[in-house]
Structure 1
Amino acid sequence: MRLQNVIHVLAERGALLQQPVNIDKIKIEGIESNSGKVAAGFLFVAIPGYKHDGHDFIEDAVKRGAAAVIGEREADAIAGLPENVPYVQVSNAREAIALAASRFYEKPDRKRTVIGITGTNGKTTTSFLLRDVLEQAGISCSLFGTIANFLNGEERKTVNTTPDALQLNRMMAESNDEVIILEVSSHAIEQYRVEGINFDMALFTNLSKEHLDYHGTMEEYFGVKRKLFDQLKIGGKAVVFTDTPWGRRLVTDLEEKDVPVITAGQVQDNEFWLNSIQADEEPVFTLQHLDQSYTISLPIPGLHNVYNAALAFAAASELISDGSRIASGLENFKGVPGRFEMLRHACGARFIIDYAHTTDAVQYCLHTAKRIGAKRIVHVFGFRGNRDTGKREMMVAASAKYSDIFILTFDDLNGIEPGEMEAELRALNEEHGQGKGVVITDRTMAIKHAYDIAQEGDWIFITGKGPETYRTPFFMPADSDRSTVELLLQDQNEKKTLKSS
């Protein structure tokens, strides 16, 4: 790709070529924001980061062979920038790398059906439901999200819910699948990770208090989510679950701007009307669309998963004309790693591992167990350091409302001193715990305590991390919530074997 093509795209956003260099014959061989990965002929984009500023690494990038540089500073304020290297000044380097990557990889969104899913809760489950349904119908899918990235039948590890713009465009270009499904977080939208990508469909699940340490207010949070729907292709459609005020507001907003909207929800005027819900361990519900009615038995528990399934059905209907095939796909859903994963204690108690890390998500999980008839509910959870502190009191209050016992423990500390986090957990427990809580800071020992007190009929929830591995070393030799429970089960089985022998 010629550098001139990139500059042309960026010039539309106010970019300026500051170095008087002839760029007509300069060809770009790759793009990087990490100077250590730059090779001859690469375009280096200097991004001001939270810990490091890419402008400080321009000299290193040039030494490694960078053919051109993009940055936000004035050229004469950059050390180590030779006069013969083209320098493009932009107002936002994150936006610039997204647009440059899209052009370099030849607009991969034009070659595939691209579906974006946003909202506070349900993005991952909805994306897996939709992927399963489409693939069972013979439509191959790439999926980029929280748990992993899947493309061309392979699984790759993920760091963020939405990959950075460079990685995202690279993977989209690599994909040979017919459909690409993206989980789109508010951080991804705000940080321009999906800038330059146009969507055939954009789905909205719900909105609840989360990430307000980053966005400030719910109004600002909604405004960021709303931006995704400005990136629909011509003829693209929004698919919105309307059972929340934010969903209804989004529908009104989009309809005022003549954006095609497909609605799903429990009110009869929705295009996909969800009713006759029996939210048991395997929920059964009816979904009506036009003159058709589909009764579906979902293999994952929880009313919230019924909502996710309804939204996935509505989106799938744009690609699959036979609603009965969609219903069958939902009934044969294989599940999501780290979402309501269930393991059985020898006494008959259930251990459920779930990623739930918002008040609404926790309430969905615990209320599901109560509705299904849990004898007791035991809840193990914690909070991440340097993350939205405003939701913590509400989460403890919700757990105290629905649980019989809850255990506050450590999650990722993210640089917070252990003593500081422990003090906060104890204060939260004292103020909102209603006498039901206990603090055990070592996460593996907190899970072991829940395991030791388990009785037949109990539902024991371990929430917040789902499939993620531990970043903090704990007492037991386990690297995740699931492996901790599995170690306890293994230990119990070994003790039984020794007894019997």
Structure 2
Amino acid sequence: MKLKEMLSDCQLGKQPKWDGEQIITGITDSSKDITDGMVFVAIAGFEQDGHDYIPHAIEQGAALIVGEHDYPEALPIPYLKVTNSRQALGQLADKFYRHPSGRKRVIGITGTNGKTTTAFFLKHLLEQQGFDVSLIGTIYNEINGIQYPTPNTTPNAEKVHELIAASQDDFVVIEVSSHGLTQYRLEGVAFDYALFMNLQHDHLDYHKTMAAYFEAKALLFDKLKLDGKAIVNTDDTWGLKLAERLIAKGIAVITVGHQEDANLSIKKMTNQAVTLDISGEVSVLDPHMPGEHNLYDIAMAGAVIQDFGYPLADVTRQMRSFSGVPGRYEIVHLKNGAHCVIDYAHTPEAVSSILKSMHMDGAERITHIFGFRGNRDASKRDEMIAASAGQSTRVILTTDDLNSIPEETMRQEYAEYQHKFAGMHQIDVLMDRTLAIQTAVSDAREGDWILLTGKGHEKYKTTFALPTASDKETVLYLKNSEK
């Protein structure tokens, strides 16, 4: 693409040596990735300012610099000053890759909980209908059947457009985080479907209020194509508010909830299946993953399938071949007859839901192991412990990601929670996460359950006593060590 084509609707400042015929070879916000002919977008980040790396980008062969700051020095290449560099990155990437989302059927999923599971459910069900599906999300990105690691739930804008452009699949399913929306990582992406799962107490260290958190999530629905549709869980109070707002705007909305007038009206939920009524036609969906939270996820995925004209009556059969979601209600049966569940649950509602599901599965004695992340939303911690202690026999507080917080500081905070909740249930503190798991496994009797939450599929960032790198690895290591 020529530079003048990329900037055809931009106002370029007066800079020397501007050659509109210059061929642009790529776009990035990292100066270390620059090669000849690329555009460098300087972003003032949370820890580093990309404007400081402009000289390096030029040395590496950049053809254009985009930034927010005034740049008084005469540069040998054009400098485009913009109001918001993050937004410009998405707009320019969309243009460079020739609006890839406009050529694809793109589905975005947002919500505090359930994004990953719903994305995996939806990918599987679409594949069961004979489609090829790309996935951009928390656990990995999968494009054209090849999986790639991902550092964020939602990659930066350039990467999102690059992945969509590279996809030769029929659908692209994207997990959309509130951070990704407010940081313009989805700028320029147009969606055929946007799903709203729920809004629960989380990320208030970033958004400050639930209202602001909601508005961040709602940004996704401004990105629907003209014929795009919103699918909203109206059992969630924020979802109901969103549905009413979207309907008032004239946007097509498919509602899922217990309300009689919901498009997919929930008539019954057990621990294993959800019964849906669509215009008098009743279907029972069993995702083969227990728990109310998973039933909402399969209902939301089913709403997309149903809207495409495929029968919901086939979903239960099609889900029998589903291989599960890494780090989401993964069960390991130990040799001593105990059962261990590994899950990413990291909000009070998610913890409560999964514990309720375990009790409905027959669990009587549950040891729950979890921790808190340093420099993250501390306002939900009391609710987390209350949710756990109220349904667990024993709680073990341990290390999650310290995020530069000294371990001793976190230990002291845990001691305060121990004292505060002492009258509810047994609350222990074992800061080494692997030893906490080892203790629970050693103490477990036949029929006991152990729940590990907060990390799910994620690798440890801290070195612990046992030679393992994740909760699942630790459990399997201990299982293999059992006599």
Q: 2:415 aligns with which of 404, 426, 431?
A: 426
Instruction: Give the C-alpha shift of residue 291 in structure 1.
Output: 3.2
Task: Give yes or no for the alignment of 1:225 onto 2:195.
Answer: no
User: Are the aligned partners of 2:286 and 2:295 in contact in 1 as well (CA < 8 Å)?
Assistant: no
Corresponding residue for residue 470 of structure 2: 480
Corresponding residue for residue 316 of structure 1: 305
- Per-residue CA deviation, residues 60-108 of structure 1 (Å, 9 max, x unaligned), is 11111111100111120xxxx5433100001111111111111111111
Task: Give yes or no for the alignment of 1:28 onto 2:24.
Answer: yes
**Which residue type is aligned with residue 59 of structure 2?**
K
Name the CA shift for 1:351/1:308 in 2 (closer, same or farther; >3 Å).
same
SS of the residue 2:302 aligns to: helix
Instruction: Give the C-alpha shift of residue 151 in structure 1.
Output: 1.2
SS of the residue 1:383 aligns to: coil
Aligned residues: 482
Instruction: Give the C-alpha shift of residue 335 in structure 1.
Output: 1.2
Q: 1:62 aligns with which of 49, 58, 61?
A: 58
Corresponding residue for residue 399 of structure 1: 388
The residue correspondences of 1:170-249 to structure 2 (distance < 5 A) are 170-249=162-241
Task: Give yes or no for the alignment of 1:325 onto 2:298.
Answer: no
- Per-residue CA deviation, residues 201-251 of structure 1 (Å, 9 max, x unaligned), is 000000011000000100000001011101000010000011111011011
User: Are the aligned partners of 1:133 and 1:326 in contact in 2 as well (CA < 8 Å)?
Assistant: yes
Corresponding residue for residue 121 of structure 1: 113
User: Are the aligned partners of 1:137 and 1:325 in contact in 2 as well (CA < 8 Å)?
Assistant: no
Corresponding residue for residue 468 of structure 1: 458
Task: Give yes or no for the alignment of 1:151 onto 2:143.
Answer: yes
SS of the residue 2:379 aligns to: helix
Aligned partners of 2:268, 2:20: CA distance in 1, in Å? Answer: 65
- Per-residue CA deviation, residues 127-172 of structure 1 (Å, 9 max, x unaligned), is 1001100001101100111111111111111110011111111111
Q: 1:257 aligns with which of 249, 252, 255?
A: 249
Corresponding residue for residue 3 of structure 1: 3
Aligned partners of 1:165, 1:362: CA distance in 2, in Å? Answer: 32
Name the CA shift for 1:58/1:396 in 2 (closer, same or farther; >3 Å).
same
**Which residue type is aligned with residue 27 of structure 2?**
I
The residue correspondences of 1:278-317 to structure 2 (distance < 5 A) are 278-279=270-271, 283-317=272-306
Instruction: Give the C-alpha shift of residue 327 in structure 1.
Output: 4.1
Aligned partners of 1:322, 1:303: CA distance in 2, in Å? Answer: 22
Corresponding residue for residue 499 of structure 1: none
Aligned partners of 2:104, 2:18: CA distance in 1, in Å? Answer: 36
Which range moved further: 269-278 or 207-216? 269-278
**Which residue type is aligned with residue 232 of structure 2?**
V
Q: 2:400 aligns with which of 392, 401, 411?
A: 411
SS of the residue 1:286 aligns to: strand
**Which residue type is aligned with residue 54 of structure 1?**
G
Instruction: Give the C-alpha shift of residue 427 in structure 1.
Output: 1.0
Corresponding residue for residue 93 of structure 2: 101
Which range moved further: 367-376 or 107-116? 367-376
Instruction: Give the C-alpha shift of residue 21 in structure 1.
Output: 4.5
- Per-residue CA deviation, residues 369-389 of structure 1 (Å, 9 max, x unaligned), is 122321211100001111111
Aligned partners of 1:106, 1:135: CA distance in 2, in Å? Answer: 27
User: Are the aligned partners of 2:16 and 2:77 in contact in 1 as well (CA < 8 Å)?
Assistant: no
User: Are the aligned partners of 1:44 and 1:68 in contact in 2 as well (CA < 8 Å)?
Assistant: yes
RMSD: 1.4
Instruction: Give the C-alpha shift of residue 290 in structure 1.
Output: 1.7
Where in structure 1 are there 5+ consecutive unaligned residues?
A: 497-501
Aligned partners of 2:366, 2:121: CA distance in 1, in Å? Answer: 27
User: Are the aligned partners of 1:341 and 1:353 in contact in 2 as well (CA < 8 Å)?
Assistant: yes
Which range moved further: 124-133 or 19-28? 19-28
Question: Percent identical across equivalent pairs?
Answer: 43
SS of the residue 2:457 aligns to: coil
Task: Give yes or no for the alignment of 1:51 onto 2:43.
Answer: no
Aligned partners of 2:190, 2:48: CA distance in 1, in Å? Answer: 30
Name the CA shift for 1:400/1:152 in 2 (closer, same or farther; >3 Å).
same
Corresponding residue for residue 122 of structure 2: 130
Q: 1:72 aligns with which of 63, 68, 83?
A: 68
SS of the residue 1:274 aligns to: strand
Aligned partners of 2:5, 2:377: CA distance in 1, in Å? Answer: 41
Task: Give yes or no for the alignment of 1:42 onto 2:34.
Answer: no
Aligned partners of 1:449, 1:44: CA distance in 2, in Å? Answer: 51
Name the CA shift for 1:472/1:18 in 2 (closer, same or farther; >3 Å).
farther
Q: TM-score, normalised by structure 1?
A: 0.94
**Which residue type is aligned with residue 203 of structure 1?**
L
- Per-residue CA deviation, residues 416-437 of structure 1 (Å, 9 max, x unaligned), is 1111111111112221342410
Q: 2:353 aligns with which of 352, 364, 387?
A: 364
User: Are the aligned partners of 2:396 and 2:428 in contact in 1 as well (CA < 8 Å)?
Assistant: yes
Instruction: Give the C-alpha shift of residue 23 in structure 1.
Output: 3.7
Aligned partners of 1:138, 1:51: CA distance in 2, in Å? Answer: 45
SS of the residue 1:75 aligns to: coil
Q: TM-score, normalised by structure 2?
A: 0.97
Aligned partners of 2:145, 2:446: CA distance in 1, in Å? Answer: 40
Where in structure 2 are there 5+ consecutive unaligned residues?
A: none
Corresponding residue for residue 446 of structure 2: 456
